[in-house]
Amino acid sequence: MRTQVAIVGSGPSGLLLGRLLTAAGIDNVILERTSKEHVLGRVRAGVLEQGTVSLLDEAGAAGRLHREGLPHDGFSIAFSGRLHRIDLHGLTGGRRVTVYGQTEMAHDLMDLRNSDGATSVYEASDVEPHDFDTNAPFVTYSKDGITRRLDCDFIAGCDGSHGICPRSVPQKAVQHYERGYPFGWLGILVERPPVDHELIYVNHERGFALCSMRSHTRSRYYVQCPLDDRVEDWPDQRFWDEIRRRLPEAAAGHVTVGPSFEKSIAPLRSSVTEPMRFGRLFLVGDAAHIVPPTGAKGLNLAVSDVRYLFDALVEFYREGSEAGIDAYSAKALARVWKAERFSWWMTNTLHRFPETGPFGRRIQEAELDYLSRSEAASTAVAENYVGLPY
């Protein structure tokens, strides 16, 4: 089998890239090691930057998002028993974010791919990219016990940090930057209305908390917890007691408790791989970078990578120019590092670290008090949260 672009990974970035390429008349095949049901069963982020929504519009994949997504014009930060609202819409000239689950986005893109008749191979095992340092790369994989070969012009590695594409790049040609965090997020999903119509981020002496949502009737909550905690250590009642302790009294009174139907603990880390291009192989999204979820940047960074790569491939096939391909890594990384910085700032400002101590707590309080009183500081946060320009 032959195609123009082989896409490894059927998450949102692989599906979005595939949809854009198909609409542009560029043939592509998606290879995914798991089942379609497994992909759709992943519970992930749900805060979309305006640039992400715009690219989904361009792909013709935003119809249900506009019907069911929740536009947010701001969010709040709770600290010292009070709330400060960041007016995203007012501070950024009318920009906003939209709450829409990553799973729903993937579902929409899968449906479009099916209607397009584009090829996706699920449960493809032993996927491996070859000869991507030449002009004739190819990918091998196994399906139904048979080893198959997919010849292509380019390979897009959209298969995450543990995927085969990032593991296939020559280690002597790559630089890894990484920062681990000494805590995790315990998160639950519950079929109850959210505390507020917008997100609330919480800095508290007992640790970080976040009140989020997936819809008007489904809420997503998180609390900072030790890395060695287990889900079994957190029955629902303990979780509800803890998040209400961390919220200001007025907000805590609006928490509607109920049985959780999903509960998990996620570690936090920041990482970047440089470069993001190796010959005819491109790393996209989590295959190249990870951010802590505090700044809501992970999925949005993957989408901006797709923007840059798609534009580069269109330029190659329509104009015969490799300028965009050559510039892909530098363009993507310039935006990645700014998002890494913002996510790092949010994480450091809102969480309690083992070394924070009394001095560190007062610095956090001063930082947040300054933010609440300075329009310039709030504007900087708002600009980063809605997403920097591509």
CB 137 within 8 A of CB 280: yes
DSSP notation for 34-92: S-HHHHHT-----EE-HHHHHHHHHTT--HHHHHH-EEESEEEEEETTEEEEEEHHHHT
- Which residues of the chain are modeled with pLDDT < 50? none
pLDDT the model gives residue 43: 64
Quick check: helix, strand or coil at residue 152?
coil
Specify the pairing of strand 154-157 against strand 5-8: parallel
- Report the Cα 170 to chain-centroid distance in Å: 26
Q: Which active-site residues does the annotation give?
A: 72, 201, 293, 297, 385
Predicted pLDDT of residue 255: 96
Rg (the chain; Cα; Å): 21
Question: Which token pair is 58?
Answer: 């361009």
Conformational region of residue 145, where left means phi above 0, alpha means psi within -120 to 50, and beta covers everything else: left
Domain architecture of the chain: domains with CATH: 5-71+96-177+269-346 (3.50.50.60), 181-268+348-386 (3.30.9.10)
Q: In this structure, are residues 216 and 70 in contact, taking their beta carbons and an 8 Å threshold? A: yes
CB 300 within 8 A of CB 332: no
